[in-house]
Structure 1
């Protein structure tokens, strides 16, 4: 236990329920004064008892000498009635006072107070001053807290008004965010998770697929037909720009990734040519006069290669220039104008040459 707590307990014990040290001190002083008066009264009582005893013996001697049977007879004979009554009244008052003082001296609290060491008034005053300082600090804190509470209540009112003003804006924000999420493909209402750009491009992709099928059916001998699909992809993928291919020999629709290398090449070539046609239409009829095709011919069988070259020949007949980059030997016989690149230790050389086309 700390010294402060010890002093606090001693102070509380010394106060004995009194509100202040001054009050307790005044109470103890009053009790001490009463004790002193009681002691003086007891001393006077003892002296009076001694005097009374001596007076009794003297009275007995006198009574025997004077012929009275009892002191009362002598007193009645010697003291007037009024004076005797007054003395008897005084004696009764004294007896009452004695009984009161005796009861006071027998009070346990008074006896305990009398046995207790005198209080250290200076220490008690110091403790009281410290308690007064803490009380003042607590009062200041309480006043500050009340002021802050009032300020916070005012801010709460301002906040409520601000929320009321922001409610319509928040509603507009929810609408705008919902539209933005729909456009971005992240809204739960967008079942296909399709971007707005993908949605717009999907229409063009359908046109490109239709244009590509004109040549793809010929290159594949009528077997394959491309079509646009907006089926949702697996996982977190997005949909909208998918392609699938119909195998008209089996009647089954499958993913373009199942095509062989040669099939993928002429399907890609058909899409490129279809895209060129759609771009030309969108550009007001302007043609893409030059096309370059890099490799892929080596994966074609002879029959498919023939179909592909016939399509390219048709493009040339419409005043389009088609450049083919390839190592396939059969192409050298079919393409009349060629640029051959030869490499050596001194570097690469380019030779332009023209050959008679094979039929």
Structure 2
């Protein structure tokens, strides 16, 4: 890691607090994730047992102030996401679903009673949340949402289906978006409420240390106070998605860095034709290209973080980071896999696991095409979604 970090010397432009949070996340990954991730991935195990440790480390709800949450800056949150995804994209996804999606929805759009009921426990890892927006018939077009919420006396009744909902089978609460007579609204739905059914989507070839689910809502009756009072319209849902997308811009660089670090160590040890693989010109050229791409992605993520802390990010800036850095990370992982030869298709090297996971990361929180159109709209002023 030293040789890679020395190229940019990013530590020189990080504050002591930023380095502390990054190092705390890195230490947790080194002790709790790396020794177990191959087994988790093979078994399709969702390591929810990590949540208390993640909460104790102050990594759940980073950037959210009050109600027992750790607070902190966008850069601090991003650095933590990079370290978590260096362990595995599934681990970073667990933290992202909990913090960037569910906790952000409650913190920004809930009332004080809802915040106090859920955020302190979620920040400790004592309760798990999920966000249910995507539907089976349309992943990239939430405007065509079919899930409904209707009033029945003083209650709400929800009916519909959601798909690819992270953590739904292990969650205590679901933030469900549904169409009402007044427009789209967010609701807090206890996962054990009558009429709620969550089913893991299996088998998966990616994100095997996480869980994504189908969710059915059949006549789910909720009290009036289950509605998040400020979660009106899709813009509220997109606010949560943009939090997660920002984290992905950092996280993808963690997966890429881990793949590069591992193969750099391998080629320094393995010999061919009487010399280390690292001593061949073609090997060094490939390593250099990967390091350049990684450095560019890390600088982009850091710039977005500083901008977010200073004045916030526009949607197209978030799309730029997500699109560019996931593409770059995939290319780095694929090249690292190839450079590792036969070992590259085993758990002896992490590159292929990271690349498989990144295919999911590339798809969720907006596909390449969605982000290209967001950027195209920003560049031309013409919306081409329809």
State whether TM-score is above 0.5: no
Q: Name the structure, 1 or 2, with higher relative contact order (CA <8 Å, separation 6+).
A: 2
Flag the structure with larger Rg. 1
Bigger fraction of residues in strand: 2
TM-score range, shorter chain: under 0.3
Bigger fraction of residues in helix: 1
- Give the TM-score normalised by the residue count of structure 1: 0.19
